[in-house]
Amino acid sequence: MVQLVSSDGKVFPVRKEVAFEVGAIASLYEALGCSPPADGEEDDEPIPLSNVTGDTLVKVIQWIEHHLEVRKKKEAEEEEVKMAVDGWKEQQPSSKDKAQNAKLPPPPGPVDADEKNRKLTVWEMDFFNINRTALISVTPR
């Protein structure tokens, strides 16, 4: 666990993988020559984020946690497709047997990876249903 401290003094204990999705935190550890805490360990020193209010930090943490879960699910789905394709390839008859055996179905299609042109999900639209000032505060600059 890593503790993030907002500009208004609110403390947010978060998992290491969540904290290190924030580039500034990863860069801070790198610049100081520190290694991040191991899984299950807590970092003794809280990380102050002097330009981020508690309300904004809550939204940033929610966003990161949600998208880490989405990424994990997508990676699991891609692994399933890879395993299905590998299994399909193993079932392919040798060139000698091809003439004798019936045709096997084609392998599963590729997973759509065009992330730049995708539309917002329902979760994301709901997430951004906030007032304009709050929206501006969570927008990267």
Please provide the DSSP assignment of 26-47 as one string.
HHHHHHHTPPPPPTT---SS-E
49-63 confidence digits (pLDDT tens): 888 899 999 999 999
Q: What angle do CA 62, 113, 109 make, to 5 degrees?
A: 130
Give the CATH architecture of domain 2-138.
2-Layer Sandwich (3.30)
Would the pLDDT of 12 be above 90? Answer: yes
> In terms of C-beta density within 10 A (0-12 exposed, 13-18 middle, 19 or more buried), how is residue 77 classed?
exposed
List the one residue out of 32, 25, 33 whose CA is nearest residue 52: 25
State residue 140's pLDDT score.
60
pLDDT tens digits along 125-139: 888 777 777 666 666
In the chain, where are the structural domains located? 2-138
How far is the C-alpha of 10 from the C-alpha of 32, rounded, in Å?
24
For 60-93, the pLDDT digits (tens) are: 999 999 999 998 998 888 888 888 887 777 776 6
Q: What is the residue type of 58?
A: V
User: Rounded to whole angstroms, what are the CA distances from 36 to 27, 28, 43, 60, 97?
Assistant: 11, 10, 8, 20, 55
